[in-house]
């Protein structure tokens, strides 16, 4: 079973700063199946990044993803006030099939 | 484009069975090479994968829920469904259906008498 560990649990920054969020897997995962989501209160998770580094449709270019193997990173280059919410990494596979989630990183002002 | 929509009762009594359906539009369940899945999120908590099904009917469940979960697929209706038996208050959550990175909007299910 793959375990995803996100760090830090909470990240305190200010608007305009750069945020770096980490997602570490307990074993190597395919970059193809590594995604990042943003979740605002009361809303469904919104896909930001898929395939570890591809931005989803409509996502601003201040969001970027990188990494491979067991270490993945979500970077927000210049924080906007609406970015201070929760972020999850997700891995899904076909062998065995299933989804694994990190515990989330809360970005706070 | 492909869209998923959850439907089902928003209130279930303790010890009863929770039933939800995910309707897929904009594409065929049978054409996907991915497993179709159910995920849930209790209020104020993180995301938990429940189980997944392939269009052939092959299933894979979260071991922690396996004894209570049944996921089925109806390719003629382009739907797949979740049944969770013997529910308790701990099963109160928003339930999402998903395929790869595409999710439905979620359905809140409250377990209460």
Residue B105 has pLDDT above 80, yes or no: yes
* A56 three-class SS: coil
A2 touching B (Cβ < 8 Å): no
Spatial contact of B39 and B98, defined as CB atoms under 8 Å apart: yes
CB pairs under 8 A between A and B: 54
Summarize pLDDT for B28-52 with one digit per residue, the tens. Answer: 999 888 899 999 999 999 999 999 9
Spatial contact of A2 and A96, defined as CB atoms under 8 Å apart: no
Proportion of chain A in helix, strand, coil states, percent, rounded to 5: 5, 60, 35
CA distance, residue B75 to nearest chain A CA (Å): 19
Radius of gyration of chain B measured on its C-alpha atoms:
13
What distance lies between CA A49 and its chain's CA centroid? 7
In this prediction, residue B100 carries a pLDDT of 87
Spatial contact of A70 and A29, defined as CB atoms under 8 Å apart: yes
Weakest mean pLDDT among A85-99, B21-35, B87-101: A85-99
Spatial contact of A85 and A41, defined as CB atoms under 8 Å apart: yes
Taking residues A75-79, what's their average pLDDT?
A: 96
Burial, B91: exposed, middle or buried (Cβ in 10 Å; 0-12, 13-18, 19+)?
buried
Summarize pLDDT for A4-40 with one digit per residue, the tens. Answer: 999 999 999 999 999 999 999 999 999 999 999 999 9
Spatial contact of B103 and B2, defined as CB atoms under 8 Å apart: no
In this prediction, residue A59 carries a pLDDT of 96
Q: For A63-88, b where at least 16 C-beta lie within 10 A, e where not — what string?
A: bbbebeeeebbbebeebeeebbbbbb
A94 contacts in chain B (CB < 8 Å): 33-35
Taking residues A38-46, what's their average pLDDT?
A: 93
Q: Alpha carbon of A12 to those of A20, A72, A109: distances in Å?
A: 11, 20, 5
In this prediction, residue A94 carries a pLDDT of 64
Residue A95 has pLDDT above 70, yes or no: no
CA distance, residue B18 to nearest chain A CA (Å): 20
CA distance, residue A98 to nearest chain B CA (Å): 6
In this prediction, residue B101 carries a pLDDT of 86
Burial, B81: exposed, middle or buried (Cβ in 10 Å; 0-12, 13-18, 19+)?
buried
Spatial contact of B2 and B26, defined as CB atoms under 8 Å apart: yes
B44 contacts in chain A (CB < 8 Å): none
| Residue in the structure block whose two tokens are 């396996």 | B66
- pLDDT confidence band for A58 (50 / 70 / 90): very high
């Amino acid at each position: 079973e793959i375990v995803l560990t996100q760090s830090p649990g909470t990240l305190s920054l200010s608007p305009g700063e750069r945020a770096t969020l980490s997602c570490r897997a307990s074993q190597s995962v395919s970059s193809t199946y590594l995604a990042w989501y943003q979740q605002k209160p009361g809303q469904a998770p919104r896909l930001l990044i898929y395939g570890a580094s591809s931005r989803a449709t409509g996502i601003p270019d201040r969001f970027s993803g990188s990494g491979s193997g067991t270490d993945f990173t979500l970077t927000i280059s210049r924080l906007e006030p609406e970015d201070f919410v929760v972020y999850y990494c997700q891995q899904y596979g076909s062998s065995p099939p299933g989804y694994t989630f990190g515990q989330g990183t809360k970005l706070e002002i | 484009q492909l869209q998923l929509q959850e439907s089902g009762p928003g209130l279930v009594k303790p010890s009863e069975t929770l039933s939800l359906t995910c309707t897929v539009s904009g594409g065929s369940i049978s054409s996907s090479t991915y497993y179709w899945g159910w995920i849930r999120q209790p209020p104020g908590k993180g995301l938990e994968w429940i189980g997944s099904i392939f269009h052939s009917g092959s299933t894979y469940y979260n071991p922690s829920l396996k004894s209570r979960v049944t996921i089925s697929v109806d390719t003629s209706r382009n739907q797949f469904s979740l049944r969770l038996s013997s529910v308790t208050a701990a099963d109160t959550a928003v339930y999402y259906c998903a395929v790869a990175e595409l999710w439905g909007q979620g359905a809140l299910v409250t377990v209460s008498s």
